[in-house]
Amino acid sequence: MNIVEREVLASLLSLTDNGETSCELICRKARIPMENLHRLLDDLKKADLITCKGNLLTVSSDQRIRLAIDAVKSGADFQRICQLLGWKEFEEIASKAFQGHGFYVSQNVRFKGKNGKRWEIDLLACKTPLIVSVDCKHWTQNWRRSAITKIVDSQILRSKSLAGIFPKGLKKIPCGIDANRENFTVFPLVLSLLSSPIKIHSGTPIVSILQLRSFLYDIPAQAIFLTHFRTNANSETTEMTRYL
């Protein structure tokens, strides 16, 4: 895929946040002749990545995710493409990255802690014995240090509360692992759109979407150095370890 094709994909993502656009708008934004655009759109239509009705182009949420993935695979800037996605689409890109590394992923997991407080975790990525509790921050500007530390501290509390409801609570949460016979380790993680000036706080990493793939490769080796909460599914006790 050449640079012109990548620009067409990026233009499609930019102009279809409400689901549809026109050939004329794509042509102007991508700065290519209409004849060339039609050839590229025919290929996208055959691949079921767009729907065409005359000059009107319709792209579903699922198609936008697939367009984004194709654009990144073809060499488009990962961060730029993610900036063209909405909040839920950003979470979906993150989910697919975890799934590509063999994790079972649940989105927007709600649960009640032992003290009765209700919590919600954006993504819960599970691959026995690891459970990664992810807070997704689709921010496009640099973060203040105080905001970063507050976000991380909140995510640590969510993850601690999640570990605290094991083993009984696990059976009520879709996570693709056997609650009756496995031991688990819960890791809090903050996932951002852009790189954070702080890479780790209270033993909890702040990882940009661009760095997520490499982070997932390293997590088995780095896990013992990160804040984590160990829990035994056959026991009522939970060992919680925090690295500062």
Query: Could you read off the pLDDT of 100-118 as tens digits, one per residue?
Result: 899 999 999 998 888 889 9
Place of tokens 């979407």: 209
pLDDT recorded at residue 143: 67
- Domains detected in the chain: 3-85 (1.10.10.10), 88-241 (3.40.1350.10)
Higher pLDDT, 175 or 47: 47
* 3-class SS of residue 217: helix
In the predicted structure, residue 234 carries a pLDDT above the cut 60:
no
Sequence-separated (6 or more) residues with CB below 8 Å from residue 84:
10, 13, 14, 17, 68
In the predicted structure, residue 138 carries a pLDDT above the cut 50:
yes
Query: Could you read off the pLDDT of 82-91 as tens digits, one per residue?
Result: 788 877 888 8
DSSP β-bridge partners for residue 188: 133
In the predicted structure, residue 244 carries a pLDDT above the cut 50:
no
